[in-house]
A and B are shown apart, each in its own frame.
Chain A
Amino acid sequence: MVLMTSFKCEDIIKFNDNERLLFQGIIVDVAGEPLGNIPVEVRATRSYFNPYFPNYLDLPEGELSGEGVSDSDGNFNIISLASVNAEMYVVVNPSYSKDFQQNRTSFIVSGIDYRNDIENQGFRLTEEVVLDRKSNFRTRILRVTDNTDTLNYSIRFSPLVPIENLQAKDTLAVEFDPNTIVGRMLPNESQTTLDIVMRENDSILFSYSLSGEGIQRDSTIAINAQNRSFDFEF
């Protein structure tokens, strides 16, 4: 039996002879502080990419054509291969979904035909790339009274935080909503601890109810560098 593999030639990304592109930019956090050691990738894709809606969740999986990291001043200078038949785009912090440090962002850089200007193979992003800092946030739920009710609770995050970045360890938490962790403290338990990695300067909504009362109460907690823990006592 002869196996034949066919593919469309127009889908193949061709890298140009005798040409390189330079991508430059600055990565800062929301406070304007430079972020160093942030990985940056330049990719080329033949897939449709809408530059007006550069949502990272919709990014096509392009071919890696350049890579690097930002320096201590937040600057990145990455040489990339050039392609005559593909869109080039930049992804900042591409490993976000696996081991995130800050959130991932991306932007297209060749919405125009860059090859019109043969003397300029360089692209400097006019705006800073702003990333969020992560924060290790700890919530402790403490039973400090003689109350023997079961406590039902939920912690709701900003909808901008994907679920894969929420890490609750050593808890009874069950994740059923992309932005929510729910749990229950049984009468024989006196303490529950939730260690959560999330974006700094974000906030969470802590909701709880006691089985004997049936009333849900809410508490909003701001997360920042000065406030990285929350103790709830009942």
Chain B
Amino acid sequence: MGLSLLSIGQEEKTNRWKKYHYDVLGEVWIGYLNPQFYGDNFLAKAFDVGEGVVLGINGLPDHKWYAGVQFSSFRGNVSNTSRVGFFDSSRIQQIYVTGGYSFSKKESRFSMKGGVGFGYVDLRNERNFERFRDNGFTVMGGLTFSYRLNTFFGLYALLQHQWYFLDIDVPPEERSFFRTVTLFAPSVGIKFSFL
């Protein structure tokens, strides 16, 4: 009798997990971001960029396709003023409209999503008490790996590649250096699912 009740309980728990998994309407996630700029551009060559934060929200209209918004923010200190002008630091913020596809099976706690995003990037440059901006548009693509700990909470790892296309007026020989920026943006964090 006791063994039977335990067996029923486990079955109910499994069913509940599956049920909730299928009924997820969306997810909110927040994590640690470690942007890695590379290539011949001013953020790679003339900045020391630090860690930041990334957060987002995804709606899952069905189990495969999703759409959402992603925001990230981090700081960078100017390390070579002769290449970028005399100022101290920048606060770099991006916001994307994202969309993608989930490759995971419905029954699995693991999931893998591939997605792309289009958005706006804003560099708030500071020197003493003065501020000025550089901005442009940005695109990204990446993969998200996640694991659900329970109905509501999970962990994720995000691998993104991003491109900035900045609208900075510079002489022709400096345009590629200032206008096209490439970076890897790996991130890890927690994910909250809502039903």
Contacts and interface: CB of A to CB of B under 8 A. Distances in A.
Interface of A: 13-20, 22, 42, 64-69, 77-81, 118-122
B87 interface: yes
A80 B85 contact: yes
Contact of A22 (B81, B166, B170): B170
B135 interface: yes
A22 B174 CA distance: 8
Interface in B87-138: 87, 127, 130, 132-135
B38 interface: no
A78 B86 CA distance: 10
Nearest to B178: A20
B132 A79 contact: no
* Interface size class of chain B, counting residues whose CB lies under 8 Å from the partner chain: 20 to 34
A66 B170 contact: no
Contact of A17 (B127, B132, B172, B173): B132
B169 A20 contact: yes
Given A79-B82, A80-B86, A122-B173, A15 B168 contact: no
A111 B117 CA distance: 45
B84 interface: yes
A79 B167 contact: no
A39 to B, nearest CB: 10
A15 B174 CA distance: 19
A19 B81 CA distance: 15
B168 A65 contact: no
Q: Per DSSP, are chain B's interface residues mostly helix, strand or loop, or mixed?
A: mixed
Contacts, number: 71
A17 B84 contact: no
Contacts of A69: 82
A121 B171 contact: yes
**In the A-B complex, the 8 residue pairs with the closest CB atoms:** A68-B82, A122-B171, A81-B85, A17-B133, A15-B132, A19-B169, A22-B171, A20-B170
Given A20-B84, A20-B178, A65-B86, A81 B132 contact: yes
Interface in B165-194: 166-174, 178
Contacts of B178: 20
A80 B86 CA distance: 7
A79 B84 contact: yes
A79 B85 contact: yes
Q: Which of B84, B133, B170 has the most CB of A within 10 A?
A: B170
A121 B127 CA distance: 21
A64 B86 contact: yes
9 contacts: A15-B130, A17-B132, A17-B134, A20-B84, A66-B86, A69-B82, A79-B84, A79-B85, A80-B85
Given A18-B169, A22-B170, A79-B174, A66 B134 contact: no
A118 B170 contact: no
B85 A65 contact: yes
A156 B87 CA distance: 44
Contacts of B86: 42, 64-67, 80-81
A78 B82 CA distance: 5
